[in-house]
Structure 1
């Protein structure tokens, strides 16, 4: 995948050999990598420089990786890839709920790491707009409005909030294909998913909590068991 030359990626990993391995792999593929051995060092550096992506180990010596991500997400919206040796699925689920985009478990192959890095960076690349239709900026559905370029979501009663990137891109994908069944793989930009990979389900759940009166009995984002999800609304663009 083409990317901007020297895209900066921060690697937060306390194991020197693994940290260097990750950085060497990234640099081999023309990314610029900066290594941090502690969560505190990383958070302090964020005040002066933010990356396009952070590769974050959960098992840090000073701060729990979940705590690092929670603090980071309060002020920054770049991509996050969790690297963990933990086998407990709940840790990965919690990481995704806190705002991580994906995870990879140790040990991992270089090509798997790069594939996940590319996938996340692709989600954070600004949308390419049709120059023949520059007026298309706002989607309207079921009384809601979604501003594509600002990620601003306006409820039927006028309440406004700005979505995070993952939720905004999920909503945009649904809005572009209303009343069609979309597979979990499609909603994850084509990445194959396993039975334990709940990242898209968690994003759907967060989006439902924003849009649905009763998220347990969703009317807008419907689950089609064994197939995926369906966005049940008429969508207009302006």
Structure 2
């Protein structure tokens, strides 16, 4: 695992949230595990729904299974570079893209913007500046006409259950509100954003890093057991155990 870039500036975990992300979904594509964890923690504390991917393959899987409001994309990725990913995304989607790179040359900034990126920020970014840039791009996005932007989806429905990702609320098929802990919500969100995909305990820990899972694989098992109980008598059918592989949300998910 690579170390974070020297001098990386991030708001202390003891500080109050920097700005409200208003529940927007941010996908961070960054191969540096430590830096990815720091950025995801900062984004989540700022009110964003933030998920991480290590490369283009993981990015595509997440984008196929869930709605993304903005892509925060590292340029220097192994295999397919951020520039190539930007070109690929722009050929089929208008999702906002902010390029994140250690390169500061004007030539690289021009390339990124010409490929369709909405903004470009050089690492190491100040956390407040990064959040402000994200909010500015999202504001410009909201001023577009409906024909110019993808529909915003905030509620995931599966087998009659409804997860409101803006309000962080789960509603049962009978209409009753189910109270979730932070860890249970984070796990359920990980599943509904990746339906019918096997997720190992290690992957679930990585997705929820910096949140309320305790950092141990056995804590994932305990959280899933409690989450199944809250999903009622068919909880084990909804979240299945794949022996030796991990867990899977067995139900299809529709977003609206």
TM-score (norm 1): 0.51
Residues in 2 aligned to 1:40 and 1:88: alpha-carbon distance in whole angstroms? 28
How many Å separate the matches in 2 of 1:89 and 1:16? 27
2:177 matches 1:125: no
2:113 aligns with 96
- Structure 2, gaps ≥5 residues long: 1-17, 151-256
Match of 1:109 in 2: 126
State which of 51, 60, 63 in structure 1 corresponds to 2:77.
60
Q: Deviations over 1:61-108 (max 9, x none)?
A: 121111111111111111111100012221111111111111110111
User: Quick one: distance in 2 between partners of 1:70 and 1:3?
Assistant: 30
Alignment match, 1:78: 95
Structure-2 separation of matches of 1:31 and 1:106:
20
1:30 matches 2:51: no
What is the aligned partner in structure 2 of residue 16 from structure 1? 33
> How many residues in Structure 1 have an aligned counterpart in Structure 2?
133
Q: Is the 8 A contact 2:21 2:46 kept in 1?
A: no
**CA–CA distance in 2 between the matches of 1:149 and 1:96?**
23
The CA deviation string for residues 87-135 of structure 1, in whole angstroms up to 9 with x for no partner, is 22211111111111111101111001011001001011146xxxxxxxx
Q: Is the 8 A contact 2:21 2:47 kept in 1?
A: no
Q: Are the equivalent residues in 1 in contact too, given 2:74–2:82 (CA < 8 A)?
A: yes
CA distance, structure 2, for counterparts of residue 125 and residue 15 of structure 1: 31
Q: Is the 8 A contact 1:40 1:63 kept in 2?
A: no
Distance in 1 separating the partners of 2:64 and 2:46:
27
Q: Cα offset for 1:31?
A: 0.5
Could you list the runs of 5+ residues in structure 1 that have no partner in the other structure?
A: 128-147, 152-163, 166-238
SS in 2 for 1:9: strand
Q: What secondary structure does 1:95 align onto?
A: helix
- Structure 1 residues 65 and 114: alpha-carbon distance in aligned structure 2, compared to 1, 3 A threshold: same
- Residues 215-236 of structure 1, C-alpha deviation per residue, up to 9 Å, x if partnerless? xxxxxxxxxxxxxxxxxxxxxx
The equivalences for 1:206-217 within 5 A come to none
Q: Provide the C-alpha distance between the structure 1 equivalents of 2:47 and 2:62, rounded to a whole number of angstroms.
A: 22
Q: Find the residue that maps to 1:47 and give its secondary structure.
A: helix
Change (3 A) 1:66 1:110: same
The alpha carbon displacement at 1:3 in A equals 6.6
SS at match of 1:113: helix
Q: Larger RCO: Structure 1 or Structure 2 (Cα < 8 Å, ≥ 6 residues apart)?
A: 2
Q: List aligned pairs for 1:34-53, cutoff 5 A.
A: 34-53=51-70
Alignment partner, residue 253 of structure 2: none
**CA shift in 2, pair 1:89/1:37, >3 Å:** same
Q: Contact between 2:19 and 2:46, CA under 8 Å: does it hold in 1?
A: no
